[in-house]
Amino acid sequence: MSHPSSPRADLVAGGDAAVRGLVDRLVALALTGLPRMRDGDGFAFTLRGVPDGAGGWRTEPSGRSVRYAAITALGVLALPPEARAAALGGEPVEDLIARLVALLDESGPAAVTSLGDVALIAWAAAAARHDGLDRALKRLAEADPPGTGRAVFTVDAAWVLSALAAARGQAETSGHFERARARLLAGAAASGLFSHQVGGTGLVPRYRAHVGCFADQVYPIQALARAGDQEAVAAADAAARRIVAAQGSGGQWWWHYDARTGGVVEEFPVYSVHQHAMAPMALLDLARAGGTAHLDPIRRGLRWMTEPAETDVPLIHDDLGVTWRKTARSDPRKAVRGARAVSTGVRAGWRLGGLDRVFPPTAVDRECRPYELGWLLFAWLEGA
């Protein structure tokens, strides 16, 4: 099958054939990998790399994830209609979305209880103009009632706004949209960045209340850009400028930030999905909304996929249909992240530099999750 058209890739490449070719390669990889991630009528939580006994690797599925299935649906909707079923192992994307919407009525162990999961299902239904959209929006309103002082995870709050933005023109959601927009805008700190929760307190320990991860930045940038008004786009622009200013010399999008100052709390892990999908997705949505076009940082982030500074282990495996998930410290208890959250909480910028020597970032996490490939398709093909 020929590569789907990607005007976004043409824009980012700017004539750089290597960058353009890399995007084509990654899109082809996603089309190979996603059908292998099917698990019955849904999607696995992850594919784990397992030595194949001959010096190479094979993958084994593990777990199930409603959230990842919804993100996959969003990515597959960005494909040309004739390519969608193949990416889902032969299933029409409308059938996948119908099953996801039906899950919103389930109770007991099968119930969808996460606000973020409900928002993603509603977003997919809106993007598909699916018959189940009204039900999904009703469930989203129930999961996200009005009121003050209720803390919400920042990523969930961003997905709520993106879902409601996608539903505009299909349903009356203006009241919920305005509340979701105001909540996310109010969550931006003076630096322009976001911590891990908005709208209240209590979801995260006090020692790390100032910390926001990369996802806590890119999903609000995307959602505010999709909200589209001048104030929202300006807030998205402010957050984008901070993460771009902090980008590593090798194109790395770092992991933990101090929302108060905009500084980096902890660099690692560096996730492949941030490099090839999530940063491009958010920054290109921002440019489309009239914000700053950070094309060179997107290019640098992409190049990290083939030239990671931390390892000589290949991260892209076309034959397996995966990109290895991240480069990280050999720090299974995440002690560095915790220590740096505590130290920067005590004094902004205090980083305990000796930890870099004790825990160098040389480990490679050999797994790949469906949402990584779903966002990859969405980043480069949505709107094409």
**DSSP helix/strand/coil, 284:** helix
pLDDT at 285: 98
Residue 127 has pLDDT above 70, yes or no: yes
Q: Which range is least confidently modeled, 3-17, 44-58, 338-352?
A: 338-352
Tell the residue number behind the tokens 């930045």, with chain if given. 217
Closest CA to 114 of 124, 123, 104: 104
More confident residue, 349 or 194: 194
Residue 347 has pLDDT above 60, yes or no: no
Query: CB atoms < 10 A from the CB of 147, how many?
Result: 9
More confident residue, 1 or 40: 40
**Across all residues in the chain, what is the average pLDDT?**
93
pLDDT at 42: 92
pLDDT at 94: 97
Provide DSSP, 334-351: -HHHHHHHHHHHHSTT--
More confident residue, 316 or 204: 316
pLDDT at 22: 98
Token duo for residue 335:
């002690």
Residue 55 has pLDDT above 60, yes or no: yes
Token duo for residue 281:
């997705």
How far is residue 141's CA from residue 122's CA, in Å, rounded to a whole number?
10
More confident residue, 334 or 102: 102
Compute the average pLDDT of residues 47-54.
96
Residue 78 has pLDDT above 50, yes or no: yes
Strand-pair partners of 364:
327
Residue 348 has pLDDT above 80, yes or no: no
pLDDT at 81: 95
Rounded percentage of the chain residues whose pLDDT exceeds 70: 91
More confident residue, 72 or 384: 72
Characterize 1-36 residue by residue with b for buried, 16 or more Cβ atoms within 10 angstroms of its Cβ, and e for exposed.
eeebebebbeebbeeeeebbebbbebbbbbbbbbeb
Phi-psi region of 205 (alpha: psi -120 to 50; beta: other; left: phi over 0): beta
Token duo for residue 175:
């009241």
Q: Are 39 and 92 in contact (CB under 8 A)?
A: no
pLDDT bucket at 1, cuts 50 / 70 / 90 = very low
**Global pTM?**
0.93
Predicted confidence (pLDDT) per residue in 214-259, tens digit: 999 999 999 999 999 999 999 999 999 999 999 999 999 999 999 9
Q: Are 12 and 34 in contact (CB under 8 A)?
A: no
Tell the residue number behind the tokens 């009632």, with chain if given. 145
pLDDT at 212: 97
**DSSP helix/strand/coil, 59:** strand
pLDDT bucket at 57, cuts 50 / 70 / 90 = very high
Predicted confidence (pLDDT) per residue in 289-299, tens digit: 999 999 999 99
How far is residue 336's CA from residue 268's CA, in Å, rounded to a whole number?
9
